[in-house]
Amino acid sequence: MDFRETTKIMSVIKQTYQSFNKDVPLEKLDGTIKIWQSIFEDYTYTEVALGLKSFIANDTKGFAPVPGQIIDYIQKLKSPVCIDADKAWNLVFKALGDSIHNSKAEFDKLPPEVQTGVGSHEQLRTWATMNTDELQTVVASNFKRGYTTRVKEIKEYEKLPTQARYMIDQLVEAKRIGLEKSQPNELPSWYHDQSNIKIDTEDFNEAEMIELQNQLRGGR
């Protein structure tokens, strides 16, 4: 999303929430707009506009959104259906019925997020050899807890900017191959190119920086 599109988004917020920078005209909010643009640089105008519209439609408190709240709605729109822990376990338990001999086929039938919660088809085979009482108590409880945590982690990861996800992926890959102490692979040129960072703090005085920080933290 570019500067002009970000300005349109903030214009909608300013018109909808009268308290949002009420004493500062939009044309004097360049610093705030630059920060918002940098946060939403991985999203299209349509995605952000729909995320904002969804936030406004569901808002019952009357406070203007911070960027993270809009991103939450964008993610919900991108992944509207999320299998909860109980449904996920029911799918796993059903798959166990034929997992002693056909664990890979049963694993492949599971939705991707449920597969992540299980881990591998070998785990299905192991669970399939256990008695029902243990499966429906200890195993079910551990699976649901781990699955809920994993789904939350995935959602948080998907909200991160491209640069942050790239760094995480590199570090995870290094750890996977046993190189925990090694440096990540060389970063792509766009990471070193500071021109892609749209915030120049020299443009703001101390009072303006404090105000921008308060806005990003949800301060009113």
Residues 6 or more apart whose Cβ sits within 8 Å of residue 130: 139
> What is the predicted pLDDT for the residue at 161?
72
> What is the predicted pLDDT for the residue at 9?
94
Mean pLDDT of 56-81: 87
| 7-21, 158-172, 175-189: least confident range | 175-189
* pTM to 2 decimal places: 0.53
DSSP structural state of residue 204 = S
Residues 6 or more apart whose Cβ sits within 8 Å of residue 74: 43, 47, 48, 50, 51
Mean pLDDT of 139-148: 93
Contacts by 62-67, CB closer than 8 A, 24 or more apart: 62/17, 63/17, 63/19, 63/220, 64/13, 64/16, 64/17, 64/19, 64/20, 65/13, 66/215, 66/216, 66/217, 66/218, 67/36, 67/39, 67/40, 67/216
> What is the predicted pLDDT for the residue at 199?
47
Q: What is the pLDDT of residues 166-182, one digit of tens each?
A: 777 776 677 667 654 55
> What is the predicted pLDDT for the residue at 67?
94
